[in-house]
């Protein structure tokens, strides 16, 4: 499928519509947590593009995409944030974009994720030295199109994203290693930096 020539580039906020389409077509259709709860694409489509636009406009651009030069298709994305714990308001949240009655499953997922984060001190959780940093690189979405798995695309997207984040003063790359296997392919979600 596609060519051997893959180019990587930073995602600009103006890329939001095509990045949203990629994630709707690739991430949300196969994401195990959403599938287990019965999340449907029609439940995600109304709010996700606007939410993604806010995420891409939140801080310095450290998100990347992979494009197959033969097909000119986006085949992978890493949507990331820099959490600035002292100087910025919290990053965009999903719930303001959701209608509890029209998107009940996604509302449950957003509530669950909020509950997980409640009371978590990221500096402590990531064993960071607060005197040296107050900014954390976080990967929100990592997705590679079916048929392109196993080619190192996800690893390269994260490597490019991390390299960009490290150019910013005071950024800590705090991640853990997780590998999931679904749809018969390995998908690297996040890794130690």
Topology of domain 6-88+106-190, CATH: Aminopeptidase (3.40.630)
The pTM of the full predicted model, rounded to 2 decimals, is: 0.80
Residue-range domain boundaries for the chain:
6-88+106-190
Q: Which helix (H) or strand (E) segment is 144 a member of?
A: strand 135-144
Per-residue pLDDT tens listing for the chain (193 residues): 555 799 999 999 999 999 999 999 999 888 777 788 788 888 889 989 999 999 999 877 899 999 999 999 999 999 998 887 777 777 888 889 888 998 888 888 888 877 776 766 666 666 666 666 677 788 889 999 989 999 999 999 999 999 998 888 777 776 544 444 434 333 333 333 3
The C-alpha atoms of residue 157 and residue 141 are separated, in whole angstroms, by 11
Tokens 């719930």 — which residue? 95
The C-alpha atoms of residue 28 and residue 14 are separated, in whole angstroms, by 21
Give pLDDT, residue 191.
33
Q: What is the dihedral of CA 173, 176, 180, 185, to 10 degrees?
A: 40
Give pLDDT, residue 178.
40
Give start and end residues of each alpha helix (H) in the chain: 16-22, 28-30, 32-37, 41-44, 48-57, 104-117, 122-125, 153-166
Give pLDDT, residue 28.
87
Indicate the DSSP class of residue 25.
I
Give pLDDT, residue 111.
84
Cβ pair 16, 56 in contact under 8 A? yes
Cβ pair 77, 66 in contact under 8 A? yes
The C-alpha atoms of residue 158 and residue 167 are separated, in whole angstroms, by 14
| Distance, C-alpha 188 to centroid of its chain | 12
């Amino acid at each position: 499928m596609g060519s051997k020539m893959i180019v990587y580039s930073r995602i600009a906020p103006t890329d939001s519509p095509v990045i949203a389409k990629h994630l709707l077509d690739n991430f949300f259709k196969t994401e195990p947590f959403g599938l287990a709860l019965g999340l449907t694409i029609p439940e995600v489509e109304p709010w996700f593009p606007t939410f993604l636009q806010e995420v891409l406009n939140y801080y310095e651009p450290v998100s990347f995409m992979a494009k197959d030069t033969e097909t000119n298709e986006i085949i992978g994305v890493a949507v990331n944030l820099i959490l600035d714990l002292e100087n910025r308001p919290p990053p965009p949240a999903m719930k303001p974009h959701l209608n509890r009655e029209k998107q009940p499953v996604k509302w449950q997922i957003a509530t669950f994720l909020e509950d997980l984060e409640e009371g978590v001190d990221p500096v402590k959780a990531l064993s960071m030295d607060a005197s040296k940093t107050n900014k954390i690189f976080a990967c929100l979405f990592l997705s590679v199109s079916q048929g392109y798995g196993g080619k190192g695309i996800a690893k390269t997207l994260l490597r490019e994203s991390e390299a960009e984040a490290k150019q910013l003063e005071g950024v800590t790359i705090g991640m853990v290693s997780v590998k999931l296997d679904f749809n018969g392919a390995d998908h690297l979600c996040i890794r130690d930096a």
